[in-house]
Structure 1
Amino acid sequence: MPSLYLTASTSEAPDLNHCSLPAGPLDLKPSQSTTLFPTELNDDEKFWSARYFFLLDRCLELRPRYRPGWTASWLGTNKNPSYCEDSIQLMLHMVLDARRKTDGKVVCLKMLKRKTEEAEIAQYLYSKRLKNDPRNHCVPIYDHFWDPISPEMHYLVMPVLRPFDDPEFGAVGEVTDFVSQVLEGMTFIHSHLVAHEDLTTQNIMMDARPLYPQGWHFVDSNYSPDGIHRLTPLARIDNPVRYYIIDYDCSVRLKPGQPHLIHGDGGRDPDVPELMELHPFDPFKVDVFTVGNMLFKEFYRKYLGLDFLSVLINNMMAENPEHRPTAEMALAQWNKIKAIIKPSTARNRLRKPDESMGERVVLDTVAIARQGLHGLRALFRDDPTAW
C-alpha cells in the first residue's frame, strides 16, 4: 500500500501513466473490502479518536481517520480503498502522527502509560541548556503534557523520524558519517551522566527530510503523505542526514560522583557479556559494547570494504568491560581512523558479500553514473573538491 509523501526525486506532479495505479478500482466484494480495509476503528484507534479535540486544542490535528464520526471515504463510491489515505490503519498503538496547526509540521505523538524517568531524561537532554550543543543527537522534545482522561498517561511530542537504515546505506562516506554522529551522540549523553542502556538499531533514527523533501506517510513510509505515490529517496551521500538517539525507557541518569556500577536488566542486546549474570554492571560500558555490536552486525558484517572499522569494533566489544574504551575515547580513536581514510573513497559503493555477478555489474554501473553526474554538477559549480 502507498505511504506519506511525493517522490523525492522530483517536485513535479507524477505522471499517472507511469504510476502503479490500476486502470480502475479493484473489483472487491463488499465482504473483502470490509476485511482488508475495515470501515470502523479498532480499539487502539478509538483511544486516539477519543482525544481528537483535546489534541486539537493543543494545535495538534490528527489525520481524517481519527476525527470523531469518521466515515470511510470509499463507502458508497467505486474508489479502490487502497488509494484512500484514510484506509491506512494504526500499526503501533503507542505512537501516532499529527499536524501542528501553528506551522503545518507533521510531528510524532508518543503515549506513555506511567510516570517513568523516560520523559524526564528526554526533556533534560533537550533542555534549553543542552539542546544547542552540536554534539547533541538526542531526539528533540517539542512538548510534554498529561492525558485528560487517564491521569497516569502522558505524551511526548517529537519530530517524525525514520529508521537509520531506511533507505539502505549506499556509499562508504555515508557509513563514516553515521559512525561519527552516533559516537558523538553517545559521548554527549555520557558527559551528562546519562547511560542509554539500549543503543540498539531500534533506538537510532534519522531526520530523513533531506532524502524525502516532500515527506512520507507516517504509517506507510514508502509512500507519499496521501498514501498513493511510491517514493524514490535521494542519495544520502549528496544529502546528508542527522541521526538521533530515541527512547530512554531503559536509561539511567546518575548523580555527580555516584558509582557507575548499578543493578538492572540492561537493554535488548543479548550479546553484552556482563548482562548474562546477575551482577552489578557499568551502564556506560554497556552502551559502548552495544554500539560496537551494532556497527559489527549492521555494517562490518553486512558490507565489504569496511575493514577500517575492525579495530574500533574489537576495542568497543572487549569481553571485559574494563578493557573497553569510554565513549569519549572511542570517539577520539574513530577520529584518528577517519583522518587517514582517503576522501576519494567516500563515494565508493557499498557492496554486499552475497551479490551475484549480475547484480554487481548493474549496481556498479548505476554507482558510476551517479558519480559522473555528481562530477558534472560540481564542475558547473566550479567546485574544486569534486575531483
Structure 2
Amino acid sequence: MSDSHLLSQTANLSTDVPAFSRGTKLEGRLSTLELFWRDHYDWLLEKGYQLRSRYRPDWKPSWEGTGKLRFNYSDNVHPTHGSVLDAERSSDGELLMLKRISKSLHPFEVEIGQLFSAKPLADNPQNHCVPIYEALQTPDDDNQYILVMPLLRSFDHPRFDTLGEAVEFFRQIFQGLQFMHQHHVAHRDATKLNVMMDARPLYPERYHPFMPWRTLDLSRHASHYTRTQKPVKYYLTDFGLSRRYKPEDRPPLEDIIEGGDKSVPEFSTSDACDPFPSDVYTIGNLVKTCFIEGVELDSVGQGFEFMKPLVADMTQEDPSKRPTMDEVVTRFEQIRKGLSPWKLRSRVVKKRDSYVDGVFHGIRHWRRRLVFMIQNVPPLPTP
C-alpha cells in the first residue's frame, strides 16, 4: 500500500479542531499587538524574513469588495498572542516562527536558547531544545529581540495514533529535560504549552501556522501522515523563566516563579525552592494529566497504566523524594523495553470518543496496523 493511500486513510485521524481565538479586532483592522509587526515589516524583510501580506504597511484586506466572507482569506488570520508571528525565509521559502521578547523581563532567554543552538550541543541527538536560528535586536529598542525559530505546533495535534507514538514522545521529552539538567539549566516551565513538535514530516503540504488544521491558503483540510509513518521530533520551548547555574552552585535555591503549571506543591508551601525537582514534577504532571488521567478535554486516559508508577514518583509532594531526570530516563528505558510490539501498536483511545468515533477510528487503525506489520514498519517511530 502506498504512502499516498495511507495518507488518505489518516486525513481524518485528527478531526478535533484546536481552540482558536479570533481576538477582539474590527474587520479589516490590525490589533494594537499586531502594529509592532507592521512597523517592522520592511526591516524584517531586509533581514531575510517576509511576513504575510497582512503586515505590509500598505495592506488592504483582500476580501474587500468581493462580497465574500473574510474568514476564507488567509490574510484575515492573526495570531492569538502578539509576541509570536510566522514568517517566510526569503532564501528558501521555509516557514518559520518569530518571537518578540524583552530582555529586561527575560534576561536569560537569548543566552540559554543560543547555548543549546550552538555547536557542539546543537549536534547532540539528546538535545531537544528548540533551535534559535538567529536573535535579532530591533533597531529602535536595544531591550527588544526577535528570536527566529522553526515553525512548531502542539505536540498532541494531530492526535497520537498508537501507544508507541506516545512512548516515543515520552522518551524524547524526558531525554530533552535530562539534557538541560546535565548542562545545569533548569527550564522552570516545562508544561504543555512549551512542549512542541516539528510536524513538517507529517504534512505533504504546508499548513497554516495559526489554523494548523487547514492548508496554508485555507482552501482545505490539511491531510497528514501518522507519526509511525513519518517520525517527528519534539522540542522544549520558551526559556523565559529558565536559569543556568554553575556546577558548584547546585543545588540552587530560587525564589518561586510560577509558570504554566500552578500545581507544583512547593510553590504553595515555601518562598524558594530548587527548580530542578520542580522541572521533574511539571514534566511528570504533563504525562499524568494529558495521558494517564485524561483530565483535559482533548486528553486520553486509557492504555498508559505502565507509566503510573514512574509518574507517581515524579509528582510526589516532597521534592526530595522525586527522582532526578537521570533516574527518570533510566527507569523509563526499562519500562519501554518491557512493552511488546503488540502493545506499542495499540490504538490510543480518547475518553471523549463516542462509540461511533471509536468504531470509525478502530477500523482505520487496524487497517494501518496490519499494513505496517506486513511492511515491518517499527512500532517506535524514532526520527
With the shorter chain as reference, the TM-score category is 0.7 to 0.9
Task: Tell me the distance in 1 between the aligned counterparts of 2:355 and 2:41.
Answer: 54
Task: Tell me the distance in 2 between the aligned counterparts of 1:269 and 1:36.
Answer: 30
Equivalences for residues 22-101 of structure 1 within 5 A: 38-101=27-90
Contact 2:70/2:76 (<8 A) preserved: yes
Matched residue, 2:265: 273
Alignment counterpart, residue 291 of structure 1, candidates 265, 283, 286: 283
> Does residue 223 of structure 1 match 2:221?
no
Percent identity, please: 35
Alignment counterpart, residue 336 of structure 2, candidates 335, 338, 341: 338
Q: Which runs of 5+ in 2 are unaligned?
A: 1-5, 9-23, 295-300
Equivalences for residues 133-152 of structure 1 within 5 A: 133-152=124-143
Identify if the C-alpha distance between structure 1 residues 353 and 62 changes in structure 2 by more than 3 Å, giving closer, same or farther: closer
Contact 2:163/2:343 (<8 A) preserved: yes
Alpha-carbon distance, 1:180 to partner: 0.3
Indicate the SS of the match to 2:229.
Answer: coil
Matched residue, 2:172: 181
- Between stretches 268-277 and 328-337, larger displacement belongs to 268-277
> Does residue 130 of structure 1 match 2:121?
yes
- Between stretches 85-94 and 164-173, larger displacement belongs to 85-94
> Does residue 155 of structure 1 match 2:153?
no
Alpha-carbon distance, 1:356 to partner: 4.2
Matched residue, 2:194: 203
- The one-letter amino acid paired with 1:234 is Y
Per-residue CA distance 1:246-302 (angstroms, 9 max, x = gap): 001111111121032312224222221111123431111111111111111111112
> Does residue 329 of structure 1 match 2:321?
no
- The one-letter amino acid paired with 1:251 is S
Identify if the C-alpha distance between structure 1 residues 364 and 105 changes in structure 2 by more than 3 Å, giving closer, same or farther: same
Matched residue, 2:297: none
Contact 1:237/1:347 (<8 A) preserved: no
Count, aligned residues? 351
> Does residue 363 of structure 1 match 2:361?
yes
Q: Which runs of 5+ in 1 are unaligned?
A: 1-7, 11-34
Equivalences for residues 227-266 of structure 1 within 5 A: 227-266=218-257
Alpha-carbon distance, 1:132 to partner: 0.4
Identify if the C-alpha distance between structure 1 residues 357 and 51 changes in structure 2 by more than 3 Å, giving closer, same or farther: closer
Alpha-carbon distance, 1:128 to partner: 1.6
Identify if the C-alpha distance between structure 1 residues 95 and 344 changes in structure 2 by more than 3 Å, giving closer, same or farther: same
Contact 1:261/1:280 (<8 A) preserved: no
Contact 1:194/1:252 (<8 A) preserved: yes
Alpha-carbon distance, 1:45 to partner: 2.0
Q: Any runs of at least 4 consecutive aligned residues in structure 1 with deviations exceeding 3 A, and if so which?
A: 352-359, 383-386
> Higher relative CO (CA 8 A, sep ≥ 6), structure 1 or 2?
1
Indicate the SS of the match to 1:221.
Answer: strand
Matched residue, 1:27: none
Task: Tell me the distance in 2 between the aligned counterparts of 1:316 and 1:384.
Answer: 32
Alpha-carbon distance, 1:39 to partner: 2.0
TM-score (norm 2): 0.86
- The one-letter amino acid paired with 1:57 is E
- The one-letter amino acid paired with 1:341 is L
- The one-letter amino acid paired with 2:146 is Y
Alpha-carbon distance, 1:55 to partner: 0.4
Alpha-carbon distance, 1:358 to partner: 3.7
- The one-letter amino acid paired with 2:193 is Q
Indicate the SS of the match to 2:282.
Answer: helix
Contact 2:254/2:275 (<8 A) preserved: no
Identify if the C-alpha distance between structure 1 residues 57 and 355 changes in structure 2 by more than 3 Å, giving closer, same or farther: closer
Indicate the SS of the match to 1:313.
Answer: helix
Alpha-carbon distance, 1:37 to partner: 6.8
Contact 2:202/2:230 (<8 A) preserved: yes
Task: Tell me the distance in 2 between the aligned counterparts of 1:9 and 1:365.
Answer: 15
Contact 2:256/2:271 (<8 A) preserved: no
Task: Tell me the distance in 2 between the aligned counterparts of 1:359 and 1:346.
Answer: 21
- The one-letter amino acid paired with 2:343 is T
Identify if the C-alpha distance between structure 1 residues 72 and 344 changes in structure 2 by more than 3 Å, giving closer, same or farther: same
- The one-letter amino acid paired with 2:256 is D
Task: Tell me the distance in 2 between the aligned counterparts of 1:384 and 1:55.
Answer: 43
Indicate the SS of the match to 2:193.
Answer: helix
Task: Tell me the distance in 2 between the aligned counterparts of 1:229 and 1:136.
Answer: 35
Contact 2:205/2:222 (<8 A) preserved: no
- The one-letter amino acid paired with 2:82 is H
Task: Tell me the distance in 1 between the aligned counterparts of 2:140 and 2:148.
Answer: 18
Identify if the C-alpha distance between structure 1 residues 56 and 276 changes in structure 2 by more than 3 Å, giving closer, same or farther: same
Contact 2:184/2:245 (<8 A) preserved: yes
Task: Tell me the distance in 1 between the aligned counterparts of 2:207 and 2:26.
Answer: 21
Alpha-carbon distance, 1:385 to partner: 6.6
TM-score (norm 1): 0.85
Larger radius of gyration: 1
RMSD: 2.1
Identify if the C-alpha distance between structure 1 residues 226 and 359 changes in structure 2 by more than 3 Å, giving closer, same or farther: closer
Matched residue, 1:308: 306
Alpha-carbon distance, 1:374 to partner: 2.8
